[in-house]
Amino acid sequence: MTPRMALVGANGYGVAHRRVAETLRQEGALRLVGLCDLAPVRDEPDAPVPPEARVFTDYREMLAATRPDLVVVATPPHTHLEIATAAARAGADLLVEKPPVLSLAEHHTLTEVLAASAGRYGPPVCQVGFQALGSAALTTLVRAISDGTLGRVRAVSAVGAWQRPDAYYRRAPWAGRRRVDGRQVLDGALVNPFAHALMQCLAIAAAAAGGPVWPVDLELERYRARPIEVDDTTVIRVRLDRGPRVVVAVTLCADEESDPEVMVHTDRGTAVLGYTTDRLRMPGWPEPRAVPGRTGLLANLLAHRRDGAPLLAPLARTAPFTAVAEAVAAAPVPPTIGAEFLADHGEGPQRVVTVPGVGEVLRRAAAELALPSELAVAWSAPPWRAVAPDASGGPQPDGGVQQRSARVQQPDG
């Protein structure tokens, strides 16, 4: 029987899921039976609304009426848990966009619901939307780490420099917010647009360690160039329970945009992976090389149920990412970068705020495994340090993430 798929969050990024689903539908791999969104759902290029697909504004009504085997959740992060648990209890497998959940308690709740539910194929499973984990370039890099070709891995770092206009922070009521209606959102640069950078680093660190890793503590410098509640520029340094250190340096206020890269620092040189371009440069290579091939997460989930193929991004694999996200959520509101360090470009909704020189700062941070304050950057502030949450997801002695030393906390907003 052809699996029945439903999509919650059919507009926005959900259109990308609809395009993938349409290709698979034409191949006979699935049937798209339900689309849900609060806004009207219309045909899009390469993503039509199939005749058999019913459109809903309430996901609960959709689950009851269509009884899908698979549900894709492409809604705001703070809504994922509620929708995903309802779909799992209805027996559906899940593909949940990143970040899947925003705390380990939520992670454990979803894990328990999946284990206790029953679907057509057995207990439902959950794949997370870290599509870069399906890259053949990543597989090539991980193989070189695992077979010893690169020697000992000392550290893994990532750098990303993008721009976002004013319109980006007006795209939804939760954009740039820490909480909405009392619910955590954390729509910051590190945990949302550059979530892939952090997840790639953690996946590579696990390969270098020869098995799963867990964050022990972290040093965090978050900044904002706009009147938002979260970060648009961040550098984080994470110490793991084993394996290499991880440093991620990212911004949405780039003076010059560049494709994000992951650097693997080894005793035989540095390997560089462009995780959005699938280009790889190994030590000794004069130029990066394209490594074509990606396994799509939806196709992989279908193959898992059909043939037993391993999931590329199962929920369990993303737990270290969620632990870091939870620690970041406990950090103070980021300090504002002074106006003297900023520049404006353009007008109206497409106005962009940049931090001149930030790209070079972040490249140095990733290359030297350093924080901006350690590089004596004029707009930097002392780091916030914390112990990462325990893998159990239970409360720590102080009731949450343990702050070891921090700048003076600022009030929200």
pLDDT for the residue 393: 58
Backbone angles phi, psi at 34, to 5 degrees: -150, 140
Q: What is the CATH number of the domain that holds 93?
A: 3.40.50.720
The answer to whether residue 342 is domain-embedded is yes
Task: Looking at the structure, tell me whether residues 339 and 372 fall in a common domain.
Answer: yes
* CA–CA dist 161, 85 (Å, integer): 35
pLDDT for the residue 184: 86
Point out the domain boundary residue: 103, 131, 159: 131
The answer to whether residue 297 is domain-embedded is no
Measured from the Cβ of residue 58, the count of other Cβ atoms closer than 10 Å reads 12
Enumerate the H helices of 41-135 as residue ranges.
Answer: 59-66, 80-89, 104-116
Point out the domain boundary residue: 131, 151, 180: 131
End-to-end CA distance of the chain: 52
Q: What is the largest CA-CA distance in the chain?
A: 63
Q: Mean pLDDT per 10-residue run, the chain (413 residues)? A: 96 96 97 97 94 97 98 96 98 97 96 93 94 97 96 97 96 90 88 97 98 97 96 98 97 96 97 97 95 97 96 98 95 96 96 98 98 98 95 48 37 31
Task: Looking at the structure, tell me whether residues 271 and 371 fall in a common domain.
Answer: yes
Name the DSSP class of 287.
Answer: S
Point out the domain boundary residue: 98, 131, 164: 131
The answer to whether residue 401 is domain-embedded is yes
The answer to whether residue 303 is domain-embedded is no
Residue whose C-alpha is closest to residue 317's, from 98, 154, 74: 98
Task: Looking at the structure, tell me whether residues 122 and 184 fall in a common domain.
Answer: no
Task: Looking at the structure, tell me whether residues 111 and 178 fall in a common domain.
Answer: no
Strand arrangement, sheet containing 70-73: 54-56, 31-36, 4-8, 70-73, 93-96, 126-128
Task: Looking at the structure, tell me whether residues 149 and 276 fall in a common domain.
Answer: yes
pLDDT for the residue 79: 95
Of all residues in the chain, what percent are helix, strand and coil, respectively (each to 5)? 30, 25, 40
pLDDT for the residue 403: 45
Entry field: residues in the chain? 413
The answer to whether residue 8 is domain-embedded is yes
What domain range includes position 144?
A: 137-289+315-405
DSSP for 204-270, written as a single string: HHHHHHTS---EEEEEEEEEBSSS-SS-SEEEEEEEESSS-EEEEEEESEEEEEEEEEEEEEETTEE
Residue whose C-alpha is closest to residue 282's, from 136, 157, 144, 155: 144
Task: Looking at the structure, tell me whether residues 201 and 348 fall in a common domain.
Answer: yes
Would you call 237 exposed, middle or buried from its count of C-beta atoms within 10 A (0-12, 13-18, 19+)? Answer: buried
Task: Looking at the structure, tell me whether residues 326 and 230 fall in a common domain.
Answer: yes
Strand partners, 222: 234
* CA–CA dist 183, 7 (Å, integer): 23
Number of separate domains in the chain: 2
* CA–CA dist 363, 309 (Å, integer): 37
- Asked if residue 99 has a cis previous peptide bond (ω within 30° of 0), the answer is yes
Task: Looking at the structure, tell me whether residues 89 and 180 fall in a common domain.
Answer: no
* CA–CA dist 366, 194 (Å, integer): 14
What sign has the CA pseudo-torsion 406, 411, 412, 413?
A: negative
Token pair for 292: 């074509």
pLDDT for the residue 391: 83
- Asked if residue 389 has a cis previous peptide bond (ω within 30° of 0), the answer is no
The answer to whether residue 400 is domain-embedded is yes
Task: Looking at the structure, tell me whether residues 203 and 346 fall in a common domain.
Answer: yes
Q: What is the CATH number of the domain that holds 261?
A: 3.30.360.10
The answer to whether residue 413 is domain-embedded is no
What sign has the CA pseudo-torsion 82, 83, 84, 88?
A: positive
The answer to whether residue 146 is domain-embedded is yes
Which residue's structure tokens are 């848990």?
81
Task: Looking at the structure, tell me whether residues 278 and 348 fall in a common domain.
Answer: yes
Task: Looking at the structure, tell me whether residues 16 and 141 fall in a common domain.
Answer: no
Task: Looking at the structure, tell me whether residues 219 and 352 fall in a common domain.
Answer: yes
Task: Tell me if 301 sits within 8 A of 131, measured CB to CB.
Answer: no
Measured from the Cβ of residue 70, the count of other Cβ atoms closer than 10 Å reads 28
